[in-house]
Amino acid sequence: MAYRLTFLIVLTLAQPSVALQQPPKNPAPTPAPSVASMAGESNIIFRGTVSKLQASNVDAVAARPNTAVVHMAEMFEGAETAGDFTGQDITVILRQPQSVKAGDNLVFFGNVVAYGKSIAVQEAGHVSGNSAASSRDQIAQAVQRRPERELQKRLARANLVVTGKVVSYKPVTEKEGRSPSSEHEPQWFQAEIAVESTEKGTAPGATVVAYVPLSDDIRWYRAPKLEVGQQGVFLLYQMEIPELKTTGLVPETTADVQPISERDRIRSLVKQTR
């Protein structure tokens, strides 16, 4: 693996700005992350040629020792979510100044941190573009595995995972007829799920009660909307529900209601998380 990334400074993606503001003069060496690791934490992956050092083509990102303008040749990941910039110049905020040279052909891993007339990408790392062919498979695999990893994280966090069928779905009527306490009021519905099998945790009985917000407010609109007869694998999280003055099991997003065809895969993932 022909990494050009030799010495990584101690920076995290959560602090991209440190690199923007004060690139360290004597960075401490850190192990080079793997392609899979970088791909896993990056929402944009592309191959490009460094065209100008200490430069920027995004107004909000000033040219500094750790910025470079890169001509993007091909995009492996991120076109749908960040936009397709193939054939265009973009700005890369390097993890380490002087880690690239003008004319270098590299595969960059990172996340978009600013949009203007172009984009600025906070680099997670880069590898030689000449090894793009060998890296491509690893990148593809890492990208393909991303949904699975996200599901795995959700499964690890869920208190109860059951396969079952919604047998009743009705509003919690505690405040029926009353105007809302907040524009973000969840409008709780109560779903009774007949448990066919328990994939994680301990179901309290043959049925499980889940609380589901029906609201279309920005806070809740991504929550799953259920219907009687719906079958699936339900990932449920124990939460405080202040509006009802209780705690209950809640599916947070649509990703927490998986089709029943996913049961075997979910069982396998649950085993891996143990």
Partner 1 sequence: MKRNGFSFVGKLAIAVILAGAVMRAQVTLVNMVPQARSAETNQDSEPTIDVNPANPLQVAGSAFTYDDLTGTKMLGPNAPIYVSLDGGLTWNVVMNVPSFAGAPFPTGDITLHFSETTKGTTNVLYTGILHAPDFNMRVLRSPDYRLPVPMAVLDTRVRNVDQPHTQAATVPSGPDAGKDRVYVGFNNGFGGVHPQTATVDFSLDAGIGAPVFNLALIEKRSTGTGGQDGFANVPAIHPDGTVYVVFYGWRSRTPATISDVVVVRDDKWATGANPFTDLIDAGDGVAGKRVVTGILIPFTSMGQQRTGASNLSIAVDPRNSARVYIAWADQPKGTTNQTLHVRRSTDRGVTWSNDLLTVPDAISPALAINSDGKVGFLYQQLAGLATAPAPHWETHFVRTTDPDATTFDSPGLLLANTSASAPTPRFQPYLGDYDHVVAHDRDFYGIFSASNFPDKANFFPGVIYQRFVDWTTHTLFADAGHQRRVPISIDPFFFKVAEPAREPALQYAAKFVCGKSEGGVVAPGTYFTAINVHNPLEAPIEFRKKFAVALPGEKAGRVTKFFPAKLGPDEAFEIDCPDILRKAEAKEPFLKGFAVLESDTPLDVVAVYTAAGSTGRVETLDLERVPPRRNEQPQNRPDLIPVPAVTGGFCRVQSNKLLVTVKNQGATDAGASVTTVDFGAAGSFSEPTPPVPAGTSVDVLFPLPPNCLSCNFKITVDSSNQVDESNELNNTATGTCSLG
Tell me the β-bridge partners of 59. none
Shortest reach from residue 152's CB to partner 1, in Å = 12
Instruction: Output the smallest distance, CB 202 to partner 1, in A.
Output: 26
- In the complex, which residues of this chain contact partner 1 (CB under 8 A)? 13-18, 20-21, 43, 58-61, 80-85, 93, 111-120, 122, 150, 153, 177-185, 215-219, 221-223, 242-243, 245, 252-253
Quickly tell me which residue has 């050009």 as its tokens.
4
Tokens found for residue 68: 């470079």
CA distance 50 to 113: 19
Residue 257 Cβ vs partner 1, minimum distance, rounded to whole Å: 14
In the complex with partner 1, the residue whose CB is nearer, 17 or 134, is 17
Output 15 or 268, the one with its CB closest to partner 1. 15
- Going by the DSSP 8-state scheme, the letter that residue 10 receives in this structure is S
Please state the length of the chain.
Answer: 274
Contacts of residue 209, Cβ cutoff 8 Å, sequence gap at least 6: 190, 191, 192, 193, 248, 249
Distance between CA atoms of 105 and 71, rounded to whole angstroms?
A: 9
Whole-angstrom distance, CA of residue 106 vs CA of residue 6: 14
Q: Closer to partner 1 at the Cβ: 16 or 125?
A: 16
C-beta closer to partner 1: residue 118 or 131: 118
- Of 140, 77, 67, nearest to 89 by C-alpha is 67
How is residue 92 written in tokens? 């890369």
| 55/195 with CB nearer partner 1 | 55
Shortest spacing between CB 177 and partner 1, in angstroms: 7
CB of 221 to partner 1, least distance (A): 4
